[in-house]
Amino acid sequence: MEGRLYTMKNLLPLTGMVMAILAQTGNLFIVKFAMSGGMNKYILILYSNALSTIILLPCSFMLHRSEHPPLSFSLLCSFLLLDLFGCSAQIVAYVGLNFSSPILFTAMNNLVPAFTFVLN
């Protein structure tokens, strides 16, 4: 049984990389479909962040209720900074898409699994 756990632990980076590729591919399909239909990139970022909040926030509260630290002002400030960084990165990526080719944007997305592997 211990050997099986060791094997599962070794598969976590691979699983993370595959999930990152699938998420990025799905995101690119949705973004291409929405932007080719004339949707504004800022509205697309707003909708995608709102949808992810609606999906992930209740799951986080239900599954990890006992593990949450108390909600303090410093924790709220760190959440705000994290959100500002994430939204800014999305805005910079979509605005940069106007100044470069979509091939470069897709090639940069292919580096996400490498970053996931390094972070694990």
The residue assigned the tokens 């805005």 is 91
Q: How confident is the model at residue 6 (pLDDT cuts 50, 70, 90)?
A: low
What's the chain's Rg over C-alpha atoms? 18
Q: What percent of the chain has pLDDT over 90?
A: 9
Would you state the pLDDT for residue 4? Answer: 66
Q: Report how many domains make up the chain.
A: 1
Question: What is the C-alpha separation between 105 and 97, in angstroms, rounded?
Answer: 7
88 token code pair: 């800014």
Question: What is the C-alpha separation between 110 and 25, in angstroms, rounded?
Answer: 10
| Domain coverage including residue 106 | 2-62+71-119
What is the pTM assigned to this prediction? Answer: 0.66
The answer to whether residues 9 and 120 touch, using CB atoms and an 8 Å cutoff, is no
